[in-house]
Amino acid sequence: MQKFHLAQVNISKLLEPIDSPLLADFVAQLGEINALAEQSKGFVWRLKGENESATALRVFDDEMIIINMSVWESIEDLKEFAFKTAHASVMRGRNKWFAKPTEAMLALWWIPENYTPTPQDAKERLESINKNGATPFSFTFKDVFLPNV
């Protein structure tokens, strides 16, 4: 029987460039939060660019959009990290750094255990949620679908 992992992407539109004073507090916390993710139960992989972060990667046409992608063994493991660790307290400050979303900023989807998702996969999943809402192809924490086994 094939085993699946949970891939996730979240994007944010910066209010100012990543090296601006406004973003300094956010940037200062990235290393700690990324390390916390990597040490968390169920963590498998995360997208990295320069400085072990994905903030320098430009996947979208808008240069102000940053991307975060990771893979987890289960949705429960991701929820634990996202909502019950220091990550949650950092994200409570997101309105200081990021524009209010006008489209989906999070997508979750199941991948085969040994697959590494690409930024193109992430773009397709976000586009799917924006066009179709939550489906087995791409969903959110609010509307979870189980993997097709």
- What secondary structure letter does DSSP report for 56? T
Q: Which residues contact 8 (CB under 8 A, 6 or more apart)?
A: 69, 70, 71, 72, 78, 106, 107, 108
Question: Across residues 21-27, what is the average pLDDT?
Answer: 94
Percent of the chain with pLDDT over 70: 99
Question: Across residues 131-135, what is the average pLDDT?
Answer: 97
Model confidence pLDDT, tens digit, residues 26-79? 999 999 999 999 999 999 999 998 777 788 888 888 999 999 999 999 999 999
Residues 117, 8: contact at Cβ < 8 Å?
A: no
The pTM for the full model equals 0.93
> What pLDDT, on the 0 to 100 scale, is given for residue 126?
97
Give 143's pLDDT tier (boundaries 50, 70, 90): very high
Model confidence pLDDT, tens digit, residues 113-128? 999 999 999 999 999 9
Rounded to 5°, angle at Cα 131 from 68 and 66: 20
> What pLDDT, on the 0 to 100 scale, is given for residue 14?
96
Residues 53, 47: contact at Cβ < 8 Å?
A: no
Which class in CATH covers the domain with range 4-132?
Answer: alpha beta
Instruction: Break the chain into its structural domains and give their ranges.
Output: 4-132
Quote the CA–CA distance of 26 and 42 in Å, as a whole number.
25
